[in-house]
Structure 1
Amino acid sequence: MTSLLHDVAHIGHVELLTPEPEKSLWFFTHVMGLTENGRDGDSVYLRTWDDYEHHSLKLTGSHTSGIRRTALRASSQEALDRRVKAIDAAGRGIGWIDGDAGIGPTYLFTDPDGHEYELYWESERYDPPEELRPALKNQAQAYPGRGVCVRRLDHVNFLAADVEPNGNFVRDLLGARATEQIRLDNGNLGAQWLHFGQKSYDIVYTSDWTGSNGRLHHIAFATDTREDILRAADIFLENGVFIETGPHKHAIQQTFFLYVYEPGGNRIELCNPVARLILAPDWETVTWTEAERAKGQAWGLKTIESFHTHGTPPVPAP
């Protein structure tokens, strides 16, 4: 049993790359309901209505799709210093940069698969303009009433050539804990779900069947209710957004889900995981076998083939 370190508070934001910047911006603002909060060159800063920081998503125009960087907020300046020292000693550090919009000094590093992370402490709390000021003062922004209206950025699922060393890195260097995992018949990990706090998962690693490194499986946004996801399916249908699978319920983590592709090709999940919190300080990792996973999702839906082959940036299938 691994104890949580609590030096990492939560995922702050992600930078997503898109070869279709205008169409992707339309998707995230008009369809998903995020609010624009500034621009910088080819990048647009977007926020969900109840994330407290400057932005939840940095959308950057690029020649390809995928994820450039995942930002984690430390729980204090001292926690940031501890994690930087540990990461540097492990040889995974890139170095310090000036923080992006709304955040202070930032330390860059990579996991064993090559995904880039950034870690920071100083953060600017969002101060909404008058037209977005909420009636409830404990809410970051007024509910926009546009599109799906996702509430917050929830988690990131990375594809990895080898799951286990990446999970070990997030556990040993960042202080996370594995809540659930899939152990294949050959002994390898097929996927692993890790968390930093009482949310049941923040970071996921999934085996990349192409053998590639540094790719994205999906980023996920949480909704208020399961019914929001059912309504979102109709919203996606009306707007010509490709629905890959769902709505349905995962067996692992029991999350209600819906997966779509945004116009740049990145997979996006809507999830409603709020019923599952890990309160036990001595939680032991739940391990699923290959035979158990072959039964499909919680209510019998089989996992579709593209779930194992589609990632960004795209590469030839094996």
Structure 2
Amino acid sequence: MQIKRLRIAGFKSFVDPADLVIAPGLTGVVGPNGCGKSNLLEALRWTMGENSAKSLRGAGMEDVIFAGTATRPPRDFAEVSILLDGADGEEREVVRRIERGAGSAYRIDGRDVRAKDVALLFADAATGAHSPALVSQNRIGAVIAAKPTERRAMLEEAAGIAGLHVRRRDAEARLRATEANLARLDELIADQDVRAAALRRQARQAERYRTLSEQIRVAEARMIFARWREAVAAADAARADATAAEARVTAAGEAEQAAAAAQHAAVAALADARGAALAAREAASEAGHR
């Protein structure tokens, strides 16, 4: 992988868009102190995924945005893009953009990606934001006096296996997460087993309740049928008693009518007898006078 172009806009002292073309061979950048030479290296590291503001000589990550001068207003964003020539001969563009209050975002070939994807891309190319090949100011002595572990990192990067270590750490992290998920799954399975046992007990109780309810409904139906039979028999007996009573009432009515007729006849005979007695009394009285 070879860097072909570095485009900077709004990053630290580069307020206006500027392109640094890196042609094949040796490319040198010279200039007086404070002209922005170190900012070029920091722009490279920042685009490769550097997230430490102190390593970029700032208190916060937004300090990489042009803060303004007496004659130039501050910018609201900073953007750096790196045009790469891949090992397969295809060009790739990595862009990092930061806005005030909104954080930073990465894009590879115009597609939004994570910072991890950018770091992995450069790790596969044996470089990155913390690569020993990126030697900042006052870092020459630190490279010479590097510890064995730091020298090993340099050699691994030179051998092109730094990306494998990144992938191994990523795989180990995923493996640990998977093991944690499996442990959590075992806990969930045990919890579900307990719930299933409780549900089985409840199902047995519900089945027993359903059986008892069915038996109760059958017993209630039989009891209601027996009561209905008794009520039908009582109704039949009541109807027979009512028919007999109606016959007795009819006979009593006829007897009452006969008695009333006899009473009328007796009253008429009594009236005739009283008239005859009165006539006889008058005849007797007349005979006595005579």
What range is the shorter-chain TM-score in? under 0.3
TM-score for both structures, normalised by structure 1:
0.23
- If each structure's strand is expressed as a fraction of its own residues, which one has the higher value? 1
Q: Which one has the largest radius of gyration? A: 2
Larger RCO (CA within 8 A; separation ≥ 6): 1
TM-score for both structures, normalised by structure 2:
0.25
